[in-house]
Amino acid sequence: MTHLQAGPYHQAGQYHYDEIDRRFLAERVEQFRRQVERRISGELTEAEFRPLRLMNGLYLQLHAYMLRVAVPYGVLSSAQLRQLAAIGRKYDRGYGHFTTRQNLQFNWIKLVDVPAILDDLAKVDMHAIQTSGNCIRNVTTDQFAGAAEDEVVDPRVYAEIMRQWSTLHPEFTFLPRKFKIAITGSPHDRAALAIHDVAVRARRLADGAVGFDIYVGGGLGRSPFLAKLLREGLPEADLLAYLEAVLRIYNQYGRRDNIYKARIKILVHEVGIDKLRQQIDAEFERIRGPKYRLESAIVDAIRAHFAPPPFEVLPDEVPSVVVAMTGDAAFARWVQTNVVRHRQPGYASVTISLKPAGGIPGDATSEQMEAVADLAERFSFGELRVSHEQNLVLAHVRRDALHALWTELGKHGLETANAGLIGDIIACPGLDYCALANARSIPLAQQISERFADPERQHLIGELKIKMSGCINACGHHHVGHIGVLGVDKHGVETYQITIGGSADEKAALGAVVGPAVGYDEVTDKIERLVAAYLDWRLEGERFIDTVARLGVKAFRERVYGPAA
Amino acid sequence: MALLLKDGAVAENSWLAIDDEAVTVPEGPVIVSLERWRRDRAALSARNTPLGVRLKSDQLAGEVAADLDRFTLVALEFPVFRDGRAFSTARELREHHGFTGEIRAVGHVLPDQYQFLVRTGFTSVEVADTAKLESWRHALSEISVAYQAALTDDTPLSNLRRRVGTVG
């Protein structure tokens, strides 16, 4: 197995492991191998083994073990994606599932195979560390990082720094509950900052230096909260010291008596943001010092890993694209929804939708992964990303190659033109896999995407984000869906609560319940009626979410459920 | 029979844990609860032998900060290994309050946590289950690289990385 450096695309914008990192990873795999042996020998009880396996990404689900592989801030090389495809073929059922935390899950894993899988992952510098458990999870970011036209600071640099800092952190590995960090470096928030335990907005301070606004206490689940501003304009050098202070206060004061009240959002809610800020600031002043300072030399060394790929100098407008668009309506639709502007003239970023009509959101077969790996090498410097919306992204594609890329994608069922549209549904695994779920979500997502399969109709409706969870834990982010669907168990019957008006971007909002919960067979009809109301009422240029904001939830309730409801 | 570990090896335990209800306190170094320390402060201070205090996981460093010069040892309790508060308490004792005596982990801890204990300032571990001794011996050398600054490892390898553990 060749390492990344051996490939032709070692310039891919990601952190490149060296011998020290590889040694760490090999030791970690060996440590887990021994933990499995100690469990089998009985030295470790199941209660003791459970958190250890979770911190190595291994869950026990309804039907089998699930292994959640870390994709740090969603960035993968072609070589890594090929290895994931191979693992999917060898140890799973020939596919993998991309998650809202930019990771990849294998849903049909045998415990006995896990050490071998971890070995295979380590061969391409990958692992499953801290993808579960009550520790700092994989740091997530903007899927267009390093390419977005509106980006002011490259968030990957600081995501990598936070990844390293949080890896096997000696103080923060047995927290009250899981801890999720997201970062963006653009004014437009594509990383859903507001629903994270800590969110970092990287920006330029008045003097031009990099600084951070820190938010705390976002999270969904049974008590949804949007993150609150904790600290403005934190200097770069203080990033880790400040995070240490936040985590230390949480580790000491976060509730441990009730799993449902253990996230930092509850601490923020109960203590109050102002008092918590005082505690954190006091701790920060104690910690701040040379030892925990993030030196600019370290930042520079890590930034070097994310240098721009060798772009060609190109004109911004490419006539061949325009020509092809006018001649091919399907291609034109795809360009309109799945292609976004790039900061480099002549380039674009492409979303590869993993949401075909009737498909399982976020699933990709091993063949599809291999095809995308090849296309990433051919069209995007051997690098790709996973988005929190469960799609894949080729970040750096020449505009004059878009038609060729689209044609190739079409050969593998990956040309669906619905990024951001009603078919681009976020859904948790639900009752089909998950031991926590109360209701199915995947089949419902399939049903909705089939109902709205007509590409012309989807484009007519425009941006509309449906997010769906099969239980109150809200892995499908239903609270922040433009339309949210929550499955609950009502006396043994799957029942669904529909919300509207939620949003996960820089104008984040929690959705409001639109009417009484409905049965499985009624959800798609209700959504269709919501959409019909929007189409009747929308003003020029209004998205679904804008019309809801203008007219209010009540208007939609009366239209969909009748005035008496 | 509980064993004491220091630096990955079995060490002699010269301390005696005193029950809150024990009427007499024997000679020699003893460890008392925070409650007993508060109750019998004068009598315990009058003794001319080393004194240790034992904190429950919800008794944080601030509770003993003013009295730390009286204690040679602070024992931090893990009611269950998943309760990680004592990692922060140890670090606060060292970094914020300048405590230089022994910090001992007591209660339910796993070998898999040994390196975290050392790196947050613990100096000894009371091990209840001798069957796990081999795992404890092994624990400090399992991982040789850390990615963040902590108490025991001040020489960076490069960037955020440091060498840790007992093998070079």
Interface of B with A (CB under 8 A): 60, 81-85, 87-89, 91-92, 95-96, 110, 112-113, 115-117, 119-120, 131-132, 135, 138, 142-150, 154, 157-161
pLDDT of residue B167: 45
Which of A134, A170, A174 is nearest residue B119 as measured by Cβ atoms?
A: A170
Helix (H, G, I), strand (E, B) or coil at A303: helix
- The residue of chain A nearest to residue B58, with distances taken between CA atoms, is A252
Nearest to A51 among B82, B147, B150 (CB): B82
Are the C-beta atoms of residues B142 and B120 closer than 8 Å to each other?
A: no
Which DSSP letter does residue A412 get? Answer: T
SS3 of residue A310 by DSSP: coil
Answer yes or no: do B142 and A30 touch at CB < 8 A: yes
Query: Has residue B157 been placed in a domain?
Result: no
Q: Do residues A393 and A349 make contact, with C-beta atoms less than 8 angstroms apart?
A: yes
Nearest alpha carbon to residue A394 among A3, A4, A9, A124: A9
Would residue B41 count as lying in a domain? yes
Residue A328 carries which DSSP code? Answer: -
Across the interface, whether the CB atoms of A164 and B146 are under 8 A apart is answered no
Out of B88, B145, B150, closest to residue A252 by CB: B88
Residue A7 is predicted with a pLDDT of 42
Contact B148 A248 (CB under 8 A): no
Selected for mutation to probe chain B from A171, A258, A295 (highest B CB count within 10 Å) is A171
Q: Is B68 inside any structural domain?
A: yes
The Cα A325–Cα B157 span in angstroms is 53
Range of the domain at B114: 3-140
> What does the alpha-carbon distance between residue A103 and residue A89 come to, in Å, rounded to a whole number?
18
Please report whether residue B110 resides in a domain.
yes
A171 CA: distance to closest CA in chain B (Å): 5
Distance from CA of B83 to the nearest CA of A (A): 6
Which chain B residue lies closest to A165 (C-alpha atoms)? B148
> Residue B107 sits in a domain of what CATH number?
3.20.20.70
The SS3 of residue A365 is: strand
- Residues in chain B with CB shorter than 8 Å from the CB of A286 are 95-96
Which domains are present in chain A? 4-123 (3.90.480), 147-304 (3.30.413.10), 319-410 (3.90.480.20), 427-561 (3.30.413.10)
Sheet holding A140-141, edge to edge: A140-141, A181-184, A198-204, A210-216, A228-235
Which of chain A's residues have a Cβ under 8 Å away from the Cβ of B84?
Answer: 134, 171-175, 251
* Contact between A169 and B161 using a beta-carbon 8 Å cutoff: no
**Rounded to an integer, what distance in angstroms lies between the CA atom of residue B125 and that of residue B116?**
12
- Rounded to the nearest angstrom, the gap between the alpha carbon of residue A536 and the centroid of all alpha carbons in its chain is 33
Write the DSSP assignment of A30-85 as a string of letters: HHHHHHHHHHHHTSS-HHHHHHHHHTTTEEE-SSSEEEEE--GGGEEEHHHHHHHH
Cβ neighbours of B148 in A, within 8 Å: 164-167, 169-170, 240
Report the alpha-carbon distance of residue B75 to residue B101 in Å, rounded: 11
User: A136, A165, A174, A299: which to substitute to probe chain B, counting the most B Cβ within 10 Å?
Assistant: A174
Q: Across the interface, which of B84, B135, B150 has its CB nearest the CB of A174? A: B84
Structure confidence at residue A507 (pLDDT): 94
Q: How far is residue A24's CA from residue A444's CA, in Å, rounded to a whole number? A: 43
Nearest-5° angle of CA B88, CA A247, CA B161? 85
Strands (E), A189-291: 198-204, 210-216, 228-235
* Contact (Cβ atoms closer than 8 angstroms) between residue A159 and residue A202: no
Closest-CA residue of B relative to A296 is B159
- Count of structural domains, chain B: 1
Q: pLDDT tier at B168 (50, 70, 90 boundaries)?
A: very low
b/e sequence A8-43, b meaning 16+ C-beta within 10 Å: ebebbbbbebeebbeebbebbbbbbebbbebbeeeb
Beta bridge partners of A564: none
In a domain, B71, yes or no: yes
Token pair in block for residue B5: 């570990």
Domain membership flag for residue B153: no
Per-residue exposure over A439-472, b if at least 16 CB sit within 10 Å of its own CB, e if not:
bbbbebbbbbbebbbebeebbebbebbbbbbbbb
Beta bridge partners of A494: A489
8 Å CB contact of B145 and A20: yes
| B128–chain A nearest CA distance, Å | 13
What φ, ψ does residue A270 adopt, rounded to 5°? -80, -40
Please report residues of B whose CB lies closer than 8 A to that of A30. 142
pLDDT of residue B90: 98
**What's residue A324's pLDDT?**
66
Per-residue model confidence (pLDDT) at position B91: 97
Among candidates A565, A535, A537, which has minimal Cα distance to A551?
A537
Number of Cβ pairs closer than 8 Å across A and B?
A: 109
B144 closest CB neighbour out of A27, A38, A174: A27
Contact A81, A372 (CB under 8 A): yes
Q: Is residue B43 part of a domain?
A: yes
Residue of B82, B96, B135 with shortest CB distance to A38? B135
Distance from B132 to chain A by nearest Cα, in Å? 7
B94-128 pLDDT, tens digit per residue, is 999 999 999 999 999 999 999 999 999 999 999 98
- C-beta atoms of A164 and B82 within 8 A: no
Which chain B residues are closer than 8 Å to A20 by Cβ?
Answer: 145, 157-158, 161
Cβ atoms A178, A139 nearer than 8 A: no
CB A395 within 8 A of CB A343: no
- Establish if B125 belongs to a structural domain: yes
**SS3 call for A341:** strand
State how far the Cα of A267 lies from the Cα of A273, in Å rounded to an integer: 9
3-state secondary structure chain B: CCEEEECCEEECCCCEECCCCCCCCCCCCEEEEHHHHHHCHHHHHHCCCCEEEEECCCCCHHHCHHHHHHCCEEEEEECCCCCCHHHHHHHHHHHHCCCCCEEEEEECCCHHHHHHHHHCCCCEEEECCHHHHHHHHHHCCCCCEECCCCCCCCCEEECCEEECCCCC
The angle, 0 to 180 degrees and rounded to 10, between the axes of the packed helices A544-551 and A523-537 is 80
In a mutagenesis test of the A interface, which of B141, B147, B164 is the best target, namely the one with the most A β-carbons within 10 Å? B147
How many beta carbons lie within 10 A of that of residue A320, not counting itself? 13
Averaged pLDDT in 10-residue chunks for chain A of 565 residues:
41 87 96 92 92 92 89 96 98 95 93 93 97 96 97 98 97 98 97 97 97 97 96 98 98 96 97 98 94 94 94 79 74 94 95 96 97 97 96 96 96 97 94 88 95 95 96 94 95 95 96 96 97 97 97 96 72
